[in-house]
Amino acid sequence: MGPRNTFIAIVAVGAIGTGAWLSSMVMQPAPRLQTATVLPAPSELPEFSLVDQNRLSIGRDYFEGHWNLVFFGFTHCPDICPLTLQVLANAKRQLAADGQQPLPRIVLVSVDPERDTPEVMSQYVRYFGDDNIGITGTLDEIRKLTGGLGIFFEKSGLDEVDYSVDHSAVVIVINPRGQFHALFGAPHEAGNFVHDLPIIMGGR
Amino acid sequence: MKHRASRLILLLVLGACSGDRAPLIATDVAVSKPKPGMRVAAGYITLSNNTTETITITRVTSPEFKSVEMHESILEDGISRMYPLDEVTIPAGQNVAFEPGGKHLMLMNPTSDADSATLEFYADNVLLLSVNATFAD
């Protein structure tokens, strides 16, 4: 093989290698969501007037500037609500350990405003993480928010004091523009959030 | 009900006489610490029926809580619902699990600042099992 042929062979091998590398980059499938559903087009939140755990009056712009994981539940719920908040807290801890930025805020919206005062919410949500947010208010205003997001809740049981509340178990993702962006259906596992949130928040 | 209770009592007596085994075996016992400001906690346990008769748990008590109820969380069409259970049946030789997201004990109104709770399981008025659990997060 003469020097000219050697040169051609090197160029050819180089071209094939570059082509293979480029095609692997182009053909690389986009990371796929494991369980979350992203809305085809993010939707605006309805208008509402509620209070956070610090008694700060809030409206729909409260969610802007952050990614938010929003769960609807109540503090007297012994099983599903603390389990879900613990799952979200574990997922956030894992995302932080993985170096994920930004990290989502964890938000509990009460579906039991009779018992869930801002003080009760404050103590409760902080148990699962210092930065967590608890939202409550009047039943009518809560219904404005839940109605706009397709969240169901209904008081159950006959006991006036120790009643329960049936509620949608979905976790809603609200994007930094304050729009309903995606959702995670129950049952919840931390691994699903750890896998899907970076994809959702990265816009991939 | 009387018939059921008397058969169980008979089993218990026979078990005691023969130095035999306890009717109910508890594993995976856990009681969640009441969250700050909260008056409720959840209890989880796996109960194994160690007899040749069906055991029906009709009541659970705890000295550390004013009342204890057996509940079941069910996810139906994306809605989390909680139903009270009047009784829980454990067939002979089988297990029933009270576990997160399923059957569980709802412990209400703590009566002390204890860091553990004793769970007492009854079939009618017969105490079948008393087990202590340290509170966990």
pLDDT tens for B81-92 read: 999 999 999 999
Residue B130 has pLDDT above 60, yes or no: yes
Query: Do both A75 and A166 map to the same domain?
Result: yes
Query: Do both A84 and A21 map to the same domain?
Result: no
Please give the pLDDT value at position A68.
Answer: 98
Q: Is A75 on the interface with B (CB under 8 A)?
A: yes
Kindly identify which residue of chain B lies nearest to residue A83, measuring between CA atoms.
Answer: B100
Minimum mean pLDDT range among A56-60, A198-202, B2-6, B65-69: B2-6
Please give the pLDDT value at position A161.
Answer: 79
Q: Amino acid identity of A40?
A: P
Nearest to A181 by CA among A195, A167, A191, A196: A196
Please report residues of B whose CB lies closer than 8 A to that of A164: 82
Residue B60 has pLDDT above 70, yes or no: yes
CATH number, domain at A187?
A: 3.40.30.10
Nearest to B38 by CA among B102, B106, B98: B106
Query: Do both A105 and A195 map to the same domain?
Result: yes
Please report residues of A whose CB lies closer than 8 A to that of B42: 78-79, 82
Query: Do both A26 and A122 map to the same domain?
Result: no
Whole domain around residue A159: which residue ranges? 37-201
What is the tally of structural domains in chain A?
2
Q: Do B100 and A83 touch (CB under 8 A)?
A: yes
CATH number, domain at B53?
A: 2.60.40.1890
Query: Do both A130 and A73 map to the same domain?
Result: yes
How far apart CA A72 and CA A84 sit, in angstroms, is: 10
Q: What is the DSSP letter of A136?
A: B
Query: Do both A25 and A48 map to the same domain?
Result: no
Whole domain around residue B115: which residue ranges? 2-136
For residues B42 and B106, the answer to whether their CB atoms sit within 8 Å is yes
Chain B residues whose C-beta is within 8 A of a chain A C-beta are 32, 35-42, 71, 73, 75, 78-82, 84, 100-101, 104, 106-108
Instruction: Report pLDDT digits (tens) over B34-59.
Output: 888 888 999 999 999 999 999 999 99
Give Cα separations from A48 to A120, A139, A173, A198 (angstroms).
Answer: 21, 11, 18, 29
Asked if the peptide bond before residue A187 counts as cis, ω within 30 degrees of 0, the response is yes
Query: Do both A6 and A86 map to the same domain?
Result: no
Query: Do both A16 and A46 map to the same domain?
Result: no
Query: Do both A24 and A98 map to the same domain?
Result: no
How far apart CA A119 and CA A58 sit, in angstroms, is: 16
Query: Do both A14 and A41 map to the same domain?
Result: no
| Tokens matching residue A34 | 């494991």
Please give the pLDDT value at position A19.
Answer: 56
Query: Do both A8 and A45 map to the same domain?
Result: no
Helices (H), chain B: 2-17
Kindly identify which residue of chain A lies nearest to residue B100, measuring between CA atoms.
Answer: A79
Map residue B48 onto helix, strand or coil. Answer: strand
Weakly modelled stretches of chain A, pLDDT under 50: none
Q: Do A79 and B41 touch (CB under 8 A)?
A: no
Query: Do both A156 and A178 map to the same domain?
Result: yes
pLDDT: is B118 or A204 the higher one? B118
What is the tally of structural domains in chain B?
1
Please give the pLDDT value at position B11.
Answer: 57
Residue B18 has pLDDT above 90, yes or no: no
- State how far residue A137 is from chain B, nearest Cα, in angstroms: 19
Please give the pLDDT value at position A16.
Answer: 58
Please give the pLDDT value at position B33.
Answer: 87
Please give the pLDDT value at position B16.
Answer: 46
Per residue, the 3-state secondary structure of A50-116, as one string, reads EECCCCCEECHHHHCCCCEEEEEECCCCCCHHHHHHHHHHHHHHHHHHCCCCCCCEEEEEECCCCCC
Please give the pLDDT value at position A157.
Answer: 81
